Structure 1
Amino acid sequence: MTTRRQVLATVCALTVIVNVPVAVRSQPSASTRRIGFISPGGTAVVESFRASLADLGYMDGRDIHIDFRAANGQLDRLPELAGELVGLKVDVIAVVGAVTARAVQKATTSIPIVFAIVVDPVADRVVASTDRPGGNMSGVTSFDPQQARMQISLLKEAVPSLERVAILWDLGVSELLTHANEEAARSLGLRPQSFGVRGPTPDIDGAFAAMLSEHAGAVLVLEEPITVVHRKRIAELANAHRLPSMFARDWMDAGGLMAYGTSVVEAVRRMAGFVDRILKGASVGDLPVETVTRQELVLNVKTAREIDLTFPPDLLKRANTIVR
């Protein structure tokens, strides 16, 4: 017969197991391949990465062990996180963003590094060439020279009276993307107004106060670490001030008005393919950089109603996804 004391002992033991961190509970065996993953933002992307590896036959905890680190917008922590993974002697390190790639690149010249969401790998000094990267790094870019112009053009189509567009960006990364969007805005006859915020506690409220004082007619939110981490607060403020907003494709969950671009999920899926080839013996420096080219438009009709805006019928017809 099971006694009350035995039942309590079992419950306590299970409670201890549940509260032990995943990294402790699932220590890799000697035969398990170890993969490091660093995100400058939060945890969303690693789940897509894990699922993509599973599709390729790698089960986390069986064939591989993923050591995950997230900076949560605190970019000054990236060198520390990179050092941790190098110290663990992982077989390969997957990274998101150019600033993360450079931090890991400084930490190791021998461990293969695979990147995603790097705007321009050559301009960002991540690889020497996209055809033959050399060194210990290659990966996936979603760079489209026309994306900045297209995002702003779509905003202008949704808001015909638009004259000034605010560009919200992360002061912790390079200004490459910011400058591309400023140039795109000017080419369309608009006046760009750039507002940078810095982690870990960005003054987003202050940025919006500045936008309003400068009479911005819409806000373009760049796909950068701190803006991704705080995207829901950004959308909340934009909607509260009836300011039409444009986000990157995969961050429409923030509740903004529009989103356009390539998919982070697709880039991460391809990054898993790089890891697969490396684990099977390929040299990362010989793998050409791949480009994600499929663009998608998402429109949020619910948010449009909230800010008293009506999408033109032609724009609605072109949307890949409509949120109602």
Structure 2
Amino acid sequence: MLLGLGQQVRRREFIGVLGGATVGWPAVLLSPPLAAEAQQVNKAPQVGFLAMGRHPAFPVFVQALNGLGWVEGRNVVLEPRFAEPGKAEQFDQLAADLVQQGVDVIVALIQPEIIAARRATTTIPIVMVVGVNPVGQGFASSLARPGGNVTGLAWDADPEFTAKNVEILRELLSAPQHIGGIIDPAFPSTVGWEAAQRGALQLGLDLHGVEVRKPDQMEKAFAELRAVRADAVLVFGGSTLFGSRDKIAQLSMNNRLPVMFLYREGAEAGGLLSYGPSLPDLWRRSAIYVDKILRGARAAELPIEQPTKFELVINLKTAKALGLTIPPLLLTRADEVIE
């Protein structure tokens, strides 16, 4: 049985799937309530979770929540909802379902999920896991005091790190002239894109962006980047691109085109390297917000936080397959080298 992508995943059905081998997530994360605990569970707070596909953020979040004393089947009810990969339009219905369910807080993974949750409710607290420009998007009055029902973590609170990605690519390649950028328009990190463009301009490089809305558009994107003679590709954020990281890494090999991601999971999937915030760190920290809200804190008064952990990961296996030599100084700065 699949995870119920794009459907309303009811708690009992989801628990059964998670406890089996199909999903591959630790079975200890969720356990069905014992008969003696049934009445307590019925009164327990409900936590909704919105994400695209079988996202690895969910089990990390659940483990962090367990560590804070909230355990499914004992004192909390988890209500996950997952859209099908590349179908962000499903989030409106999934968010509306959570509101109708009467959840006490909604955890929204990334921008399409956050927007859908915000459209569905202005009263139920919403915790952003990987938010983008929350003040500019109108979700919050300020990072220090959001003032509404949205709080959590802002991935691009310091967008200039994307300029650092361009700088690293310049250091990696001997004489690059053109850098390609793959962008998910559903993840409107225009500030990060503009920072990358400024970084490219300062280094005398051309940055050419290609939009990818669905996974099946990836081959066309690489064909366009080859046509503009891109020397390397920088993959920006978004659920569709994150979920397509294996395919992107394979296309990188097929096209002999080095790819850099903004998250380590891309390098682990076979991309050449990555530099950016640690996503698992953000996934874990989102549970802290949920804990505070369930204990009485108001979302309006919980400051929106920034990433605090940035990682440079280099995949030497991929470098060898592409015939590239990583500069020694760049290797010494890496937080992890995959061999």
Question: 1:52 maps to what in 2?
Answer: 64
CA deviation after TM superposition for structure 1 residue 23, in Å: 5.1
1:282 paired to 2:294: no
Q: Deviations over 1:78-136 (max 9, x none)?
A: 10110111111111000112222121111011111110211321123221211110111
Give percent identity, aligned residues only: 34
Question: 1:190 maps to what in 2?
Answer: 205
> Matched residue of 1:246: which SS?
strand
Q: Is the 8 A contact 1:98 1:126 kept in 2?
A: no
Q: Is the 8 A contact 1:178 1:194 kept in 2?
A: no
Question: 1:91 maps to what in 2?
Answer: 104
Bigger shift: residues 123-132 or 100-109: 123-132
Q: Is the 8 A contact 2:51 2:113 kept in 1?
A: yes
C-alpha separation between the residues in 1 aligned to 2:86 and 2:195? 22
Question: 2:7 maps to what in 1?
Answer: none
C-alpha separation between the residues in 1 aligned to 2:250 and 2:281? 27
- The count of aligned residue pairs is 304
Matched residue type, 2:14: V
RMSD: 1.7
C-alpha separation between the residues in 1 aligned to 2:173 and 2:114? 37
Structure number with bigger Rg:
1
CA deviation after TM superposition for structure 1 residue 41, in Å: 4.9
C-alpha separation between the residues in 2 aligned to 1:127 and 1:157? 38
C-alpha separation between the residues in 1 aligned to 2:193 and 2:82? 24
Q: Under a length normalisation based on structure 1, what TM-score does the superposition of the two structures give?
A: 0.89
Q: Deviations over 1:240-263 (max 9, x none)?
A: 222111112232222100011111
Question: 2:8 maps to what in 1?
Answer: none
Q: Is the 8 A contact 1:40 1:97 kept in 2?
A: no
CA deviation after TM superposition for structure 1 residue 174, in Å: 2.1
Provide structure 1 residue ranges, at least 5 long, that are not aligned to the other structure. 1-19
C-alpha separation between the residues in 1 aligned to 2:244 and 2:50? 18
CA deviation after TM superposition for structure 1 residue 61, in Å: 2.2
Question: 2:27 maps to what in 1?
Answer: none
Q: Is the 8 A contact 2:235 2:262 kept in 1?
A: yes
Q: Is the 8 A contact 2:268 2:338 kept in 1?
A: no
Question: 2:313 maps to what in 1?
Answer: 298
> Matched residue of 2:102: which SS?
coil
Q: Under a length normalisation based on structure 2, what TM-score does the superposition of the two structures give?
A: 0.85
The 5-angstrom pairing of residues 30-69 of structure 1 reads 30-69=42-81
C-alpha separation between the residues in 2 aligned to 1:281 and 1:49? 20
C-alpha separation between the residues in 2 aligned to 1:159 and 1:319? 16
CA deviation after TM superposition for structure 1 residue 74, in Å: 1.0
C-alpha separation between the residues in 2 aligned to 1:97 and 1:166? 23
Question: 1:246 maps to what in 2?
Answer: 260
Question: 1:100 maps to what in 2?
Answer: 113
CA deviation after TM superposition for structure 1 residue 202, in Å: 3.3
Q: Deviations over 1:144-190 (max 9, x none)?
A: 23211111111111112111000001133325133332233223221
Bigger shift: residues 141-150 or 74-83: 141-150
The 5-angstrom pairing of residues 249-264 of structure 1 reads 249-251=263-265, 252-264=267-279
Q: Deviations over 1:7-60 (max 9, x none)?
A: xxxxxxxxxxxxx72257947732222100001454211011001101111112
The 5-angstrom pairing of residues 14-29 of structure 1 reads 21-22=13-14, 26=32, 29=41
Provide structure 2 residue ranges, at least 5 long, that are not aligned to the other structure. 1-11, 17-30
Cα gap change, 1:197/1:43 in structure 2, threshold over 3 Å: closer, same or farther?
Answer: same
CA deviation after TM superposition for structure 1 residue 226, in Å: 1.1
